Structure 1
Amino acid sequence: MIEVADELARLETLSPVELRETWVKLCGEPVPNVSPKLLRLALGWEVQARCLGGPSRETVRTLDQLARGATKTAPASAGMRLVREWQGRLHVVTIGEDRVIRWDEREWKSLSEVARAITGTRWSGPAFFGLKKKVAA
């Protein structure tokens, strides 16, 4: 954590030219056409994301969905029961208080794994169980 704080403090001392050089070294992309102040903030975010792990997969997915405005996925929360009929058979998946997914007397890593086991094909688990909805235009 000290390294992150040191790097953030160092960003405050860099000139606009040094900020641009740092951006290219850190991100490997062309420098965005923004003010030095905004570039400093963006670099600060990059430094923290790289050192502390960045946003979670769920956060990235949610932000992507919001940006596209196409779908919205409700999170599977503890205590939830998801019911889906498939080819005449009723399938009940429970999300335990420990957030473990259970179906067919087994524990699963994801809803997509369960959907794949039920259908035999690749499915989005949230879509299969009705958690992913199209956003009205």
Structure 2
Amino acid sequence: MATADSIAATAAPEREATPGTLTITEELARLQGMTVGDLKQAFARLFGEEARSGNRQWLIKRIAWRIQANAEGDLSERARRRALELADDADLRMKAPCVSRSSKKGTTPVLDATRPLPAMRDERLPTPGNVLTRVYKGKTIIVTVRTNGLEYEGTTYRSLSAVARAVTGTHWNGYHFFGLRRSTDSTTDGRDK
């Protein structure tokens, strides 16, 4: 069985297979037979820090990447800088791309990554510029609806639930807290059915 010492020791730059040494392929194959404890030790030796995960497959992938990077060479400094530039310039999605309607049943769906995500606005939320008020424990809560969120006491929040949490200190459904209902909801006392 491979040990963490043997894997870490053999993770040197690429070399010809000589008696007593392993090729990269053999080193990677040996990882599969190692215990989680051995993998964590190998990770600590290769990365210089303790592994935060005990997930065997994650450890194997990270160690295999480091072995290959040590043997074949890591990214150049220029490539690292370019990757950082691209990551800074990228418009990161908060949700997965929509599935194209043109994909046929039984085929792999086509993801449309070029179409912008639709603005999802709940019909219960008033239009920007409106003010929501509620009395809570004798204090009047005033929230202004903005295009980029909800403003309460000079702070912008992403949701009514976040505002309700800031006010009460506990989780609330923001629409229930402010008494906003769908037009088809006939209850007016603010309690669930």
Tell me the TM-score normalized by structure 1: 0.48
Higher relative contact order (CA 8 A, sep 6+): 1
**Larger strand proportion, structure 1 or 2?**
1
Would you tell me which structure has more helix in proportion to its own residues? 1
Tell me the TM-score normalised to structure 2 length.
Answer: 0.36
